[in-house]
């Protein structure tokens, strides 16, 4: 099959690789019909997430048709269309029983490495470095989906792919970011980053009862989308001091909740940004946390800072 493979910093190639096969009785093989590129893939592309190896197949946002199932798969059938969530979950461990699927303790065989790096490990994740298990991803013609009875969502036949694909990651990620804010009617929520995760966080914040959502980015088209599609107020990081502007817009108090949907490769300016940039390049820190720092400085006393950004 053809797949998109990682070969180093800013070096990814479409290559011929062996087709995946069933390895465990709980596996399914999915023929991929749609896949997406995540902001998280940019962190791999730019080489700021460790644990990538030559030839790793990228992609953790994908959907398609089941073409083969292992002997113990009960819930899924060949021919069904599924969206595959990016974390791989066993469905039976301490965390899965609490529905904390993204920290399943059975699906990441390299958890011990992730613990050294991050303190705690995540679940296995498709196409996301050997620290999350080294699983082949879904920017490919086929993918092997372990524990297939647990994660994949069956898609009704008539729903087009582009109405379902975002359930693989960016919609639930944005929704959960807003849900974690404990939004009450009248709340003001600020969202850093107007990529897909930020856009869904903005819509989810309104859905959960926010009165005002203030969207922050530096791309005019993304700010336009936040304004026109979701009716958010917007701030451009290139034009104003964000902490001052948010304070001014909230009667001096700060937003009730702040969502960092930017993550470790935030853009910025000034001394703090230069300091982060140098430390990240020298591998003295893994992140450039400009947005996170602004979120912490802006949030009102007793408010919530929610961090979906990697
Ligand atoms: N927790 C999860 O499960 C999960 C899932 C998906 C994505 N993510 C992470 O969420 C983040 C956003 O994902 P995405 O797909 O929307 O990415 P994206 O790259 O499309 O969007 C990020 C946006 O942040 C903006 N930005 C950069 N610096 C900024 C700053 N200082 N202030 C305000 N905005 C700034 C960029 O201009 C860009 O529009 C990434 O870090 C990604 O890795 C996490
Ligand atoms: Zn993603
Ligand atoms: Zn589990």
Asked whether residue 276 falls in the same domain as residue 148, the answer is no
Asked whether residue 141 falls in the same domain as residue 188, the answer is no
The CATH number of residue 277's host domain is 3.40.50.720
Question: What digits encode the pLDDT tens for the residues 272-305?
Answer: 788 888 887 877 777 788 999 999 999 999 999 9
252 three-state secondary structure = coil
pLDDT tier at 271, thresholds 50, 70, 90: confident
Q: Which of 263, 265, 270, 291 to mutate to test the pocket of ligand 1 (most atoms within 8 A of CB)?
A: 263
What average pLDDT does the segment 66-70 reach? 98
Asked whether residue 182 falls in the same domain as residue 240, the answer is yes
For residue 257, the cross-strand partners are 189, 304
Distance, C-alpha 209 to centroid of its chain: 23
Ligand closest to 309 (CA) is: 1
DSSP 26-59: T-EEEEEEEEE--HHHHHHHTT-SS---TTEEP-
- Ligand 1 binding residues, C-beta < 6 A: 38-40, 42-43, 169-170, 173, 192-198, 216-219, 222, 237, 261-263, 266-268, 290-291, 308-310
State in Å: Cα 103 to ligand 2 middle.
15
Q: CB of 235 within 8 A of CB of 209?
A: no
CA 308, CA 181: separation in Å to the nearest integer? Answer: 11
Helical (H) or strand (E) element with 114: helix 111-118
Q: Does the residue 122 lie in any domain?
A: no
A 10 A CB-CB count for 195 gives 20
Neighbouring residues of 250: CB distance < 8 A, sequence distance ≥ 6: 188, 300
For a pLDDT cut of 90, what percent of the chain falls above it?
Answer: 90
State in Å: Cα 228 to ligand 1 middle.
20
The CATH number of residue 141's host domain is 3.90.180.10
Per-residue model confidence (pLDDT) at position 269: 78
Question: What digits encode the pLDDT tens for the residues 170-204?
Answer: 999 999 999 999 999 999 999 999 999 999 999 99
Higher pLDDT, 33 or 265: 33
Neighbouring residues of 4: CB distance < 8 A, sequence distance ≥ 6: 12, 13, 14, 15, 57, 58, 59, 139, 140
Atom number in ligand 1 closest to CA 170 = 6
State in Å: Cα 223 to ligand 2 middle.
21
Per-residue model confidence (pLDDT) at position 76: 97
Neighbouring residues of 159: CB distance < 8 A, sequence distance ≥ 6: none
Asked whether residue 239 falls in the same domain as residue 279, the answer is yes
- The domain in which residue 55 lies consists of 2-86+132-166
Q: Is the pLDDT of residue 166 over 80?
A: yes
Per-residue model confidence (pLDDT) at position 182: 97
Per-residue model confidence (pLDDT) at position 290: 92
Q: CB of 188 within 8 A of CB of 246?
A: no
Asked whether residue 192 falls in the same domain as residue 255, the answer is yes
Nearest Cα residue to atom 2 of ligand 1: 308
Per-residue model confidence (pLDDT) at position 89: 98
Per-residue model confidence (pLDDT) at position 280: 79
State in Å: Cα 159 to ligand 1 middle.
28
Minimal CA–CA distance to 104: which of 116, 122, 118, 86? 122
Question: What digits encode the pLDDT tens for the residues 74-131?
Answer: 999 999 999 999 999 999 999 999 999 999 999 999 999 999 988 999 999 999 999 9
200 three-state secondary structure = helix
Q: Is the pLDDT of residue 141 over 90?
A: yes
CA 79, CA 91: separation in Å to the nearest integer? Answer: 23
What average pLDDT does the segment 14-42 reach? 97
Q: Does the residue 155 lie in any domain?
A: yes
Q: CB of 237 within 8 A of CB of 223?
A: no
For a pLDDT cut of 70, what percent of the chain falls above it?
Answer: 100
Backbone angles phi, psi at 199, to 5 degrees: -60, -45
pLDDT tier at 270, thresholds 50, 70, 90: confident
Average pLDDT, the chain: 96
A 10 A CB-CB count for 283 gives 9
Q: Which of 128, 168, 191, 197 to mutate to test the pocket of ligand 1 (most atoms within 8 A of CB)?
A: 197
- Of 166, 184, 215, the one marking the end of a domain is 166
């Amino acid at each position: 099959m053809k797949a998109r493979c990682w070969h180093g910093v800013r070096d990814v190639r479409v290559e011929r690789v062996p087709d995946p096969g069933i390895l465990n009785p709980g596996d399914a093989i999915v023929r991929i019909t749609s896949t997406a590129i995540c902001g998280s893939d940019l962190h791999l592309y730019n080489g700021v997430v460790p644990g990538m190896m030559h030839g790793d197949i990228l992609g953790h946002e994908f959907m398609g048709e089941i073409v083969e199932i292992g002997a113990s798969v009960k819930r899924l059938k060949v021919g069904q269309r599924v969206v595959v969530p990016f974390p791989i979950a066993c469905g039976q461990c301490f965390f899965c029983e609490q529905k904390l699927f993204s920290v399943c303790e059975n699906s990441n065989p390299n958890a011990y490495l992730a613990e050294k790096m991050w303190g705690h490990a995540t679940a296995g994740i498709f196409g996301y470095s050997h620290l999350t298990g080294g699983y082949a991803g879904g920017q490919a013609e086929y993918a092997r989906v372990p524990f297939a009875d647990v994660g994949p969502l069956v898609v009704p036949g008539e729903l087009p792919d582009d109405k379902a694909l975002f359930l693989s990651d960016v919609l639930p990620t944005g929704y959960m970011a807003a849900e974690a804010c404990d939004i009450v009617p009248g709340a003001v929520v600020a969202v850093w980053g107007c990529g897909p995760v930020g856009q869904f966080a903005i819509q989810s914040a309104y859905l959960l009862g926010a009165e005002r959502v203030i969207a922050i980015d530096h791309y005019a088209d993304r700010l336009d989308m936040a304004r026109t599609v979701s009716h958010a107020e917007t701030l451009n990081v290139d034009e104003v001091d964000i902490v001052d502007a948010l304070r001014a817009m909230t009667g001096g108090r700060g937003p009730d909740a702040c969502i960092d949907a930017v993550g470790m490769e935030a853009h910025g300016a000034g001394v703090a940004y230069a300091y982060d940039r140098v430390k990240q390049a020298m591998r003295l820190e893994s992140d450039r946390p400009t947005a996170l720092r602004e979120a912490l400085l802006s949030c009102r006393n007793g408010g919530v800072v929610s961090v979906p950004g990697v």
